[in-house]
With several copies, the nearest count.
Chain A
Amino acid sequence: MGSVGAKDIPELLDANGKRIDGRDLNELRPLKIEAGVLQRATGSAFVEWGENKVMAAVYGPREVHPRHMQENTKAVVQCRYNMASFSVDERKRPGLDRRSQEISKVIGEALESVLFVEEYPRTSIGIYIEVLQANAGTRCAGLVAASVALADAGIPMSDLVPAVAVGKVAGKLALDLRKEEDNYGEADVPMALVPKSGRLVLLQMEGHMTRDELKTAIDMGVQGCHKIYEIQKEALRKRYSIAHDGGDAQ
């Protein structure tokens, strides 16, 4: 649903129902998660998901400046999603554009939904996401990374938060769109799940879908989130076992 180019539209599904990169409709792109990748941060994680590369870090809970921004009954969650200027085809001017500001807001609200912010009054928790290389689905990749970084920081949460987008491509619903599918598809529905409660904390949509399509899309996304959830947990297990062996993550 990005800007539609003037170029010819590529064929997004072949005769066998395979997608442009050979995947099935409900197949995720390869996903690797590593926790504890940065030295200065309280917690951090790196996500490589298809051709996306995303790094997230968490700082805090810590003091709030300026002081009138602090809240007496809860921690302030500050979230910033940012794209490196070279992460996309055409160089992006450094700094947060309006799209990045909106994504920062919805990711921050999604993650605050699983944090016990009332335990840390008068502090801030900074959640920072840097997209190093982008190929559709970066807000979900960022949320997945940030969720692992929060766990790595030892900040109590009710659950980890997996996220994935479902789209409509050549008339069919497809899980985890890549760039061409996003650009030339008919709809895109990114979502983030709290597996333990079965509820969605992020949900956006743009395009055209009937009620039934939307219902099915959300079901597909929830399934995908459960797979991602396992990879998130595995990354944290690996991080803890390295830490317990006396070594430290590279």
Chain B
Amino acid sequence: MSNEVSTEILATHVLDLAKSGKRLDGRALDEMRHLHITPGYVTSADGSALVELGDTKVLAGIKLEPGTPFPDTPNAGVLTTNAEIVPIASPEYEPGPPSIQSVELSRVVDRAIRAAEAIDLKGLCVTPGEKCWTCFVDLHILDDSGNLTDAALIAAMAALRNAKLPAERFELGETKPLDVRHFPIETTFVRIGDAIVVDPSSAEEGTCQGRLTIATDEEGNVVAMQKAKVGAFSPQDVAELVERAFVHGNKVRAALGQLG
């Protein structure tokens, strides 16, 4: 019960702050937390990156293995994205199959990569209909301090850009970097009363009235969106947030571009 009381007090406080354009951690409504990226963090993976977005920590690892193309896409490799919110990440963990949060997270990240055509899946075909590369993008969530979606896609993209196709190990030619062609970035907003803030903290996500994630690419396209949580956005909100998403996405792309 005391837990519910403290949750409610926090919610009221976050809401009061938002009325005067303020946030719990002192950020401006449109301000992202500090972003730090460590590509190649895990050498056992074919590509990897640790992303720290404020206190949020996501580790992405890429594994590339020979496999079989899907019957309906015989000329393409296979992309498999999996997210695990492991129990060190937050007190909400429950044992059992992946939580619905993990499932949504992996699907939203996967959709952005796929819709933006970020990697060249056709280039991962070895023998049409018979052999291809399977690209596993595994997202290990180490600290859920808010906005996992944006951090996870940044980690996935940084890890893909860091990845090498281990062709020699499997006697399939020469090892070479993975062909990454496009550069989607997701920007997540939450509504707090009448304010809409970017890059929400876990406290803000816990008290928000709707969350909207918008994925943009470097060519000016919106490639994916996901409205989540209880709450609503007007068409005008959406139009405005799309603009803000491009500004934010280009800023992150610039930061990430300097790495590789």
Contacts and interface: CB of A to CB of B under 8 A. Distances in A.
B228 A106 contact: yes
Main secondary structure of the interface of B (DSSP, over half): mixed
Contact of A207 (B115, B140, B232, B239): B115
B62 interface: yes
Interface string B15-31: 00000000000000000
B72 A113 contact: no
B44 A102 contact: no
A3 B61 CA distance: 24
Contacts of A109: 228-230
Which interface residue of A39, A86, A102, A126 has the most chain B CB atoms within 10 A?
A: A86
B1 A91 contact: no
A8 B107 CA distance: 28
A44 to B, nearest CB: 7
Interface stretch (B142-150, B172-180, B192-200, B250-258): B142-150
The number of chain B residues touching the other chain, given as a range, is: 35 or more
Contacts of A51: 43
Interface string A30-72: 0000000011110010000001010111010010000000011
Nearest to B159: A86
Interface residues of A, number: 71
Nearest to A188: B115
B205 interface: no
Interface of A: 1, 3-6, 38-41, 44, 51, 53, 55-57, 59, 62, 71-73, 80, 82, 84-89, 91, 94, 98-99, 101-102, 104-106, 109-110, 112-113, 126, 128-130, 132-135, 189, 194, 197-211, 214-215, 218-219, 222
26 contacts: A38-B55, A38-B89, A38-B142, A38-B143, A40-B144, A44-B88, A53-B42, A73-B4, A80-B95, A82-B86, A87-B42, A87-B61, A91-B136, A101-B103, A104-B100, A106-B104, A109-B230, A128-B86, A133-B43, A200-B233, A204-B225, A205-B225, A209-B221, A211-B220, A218-B238, A218-B239
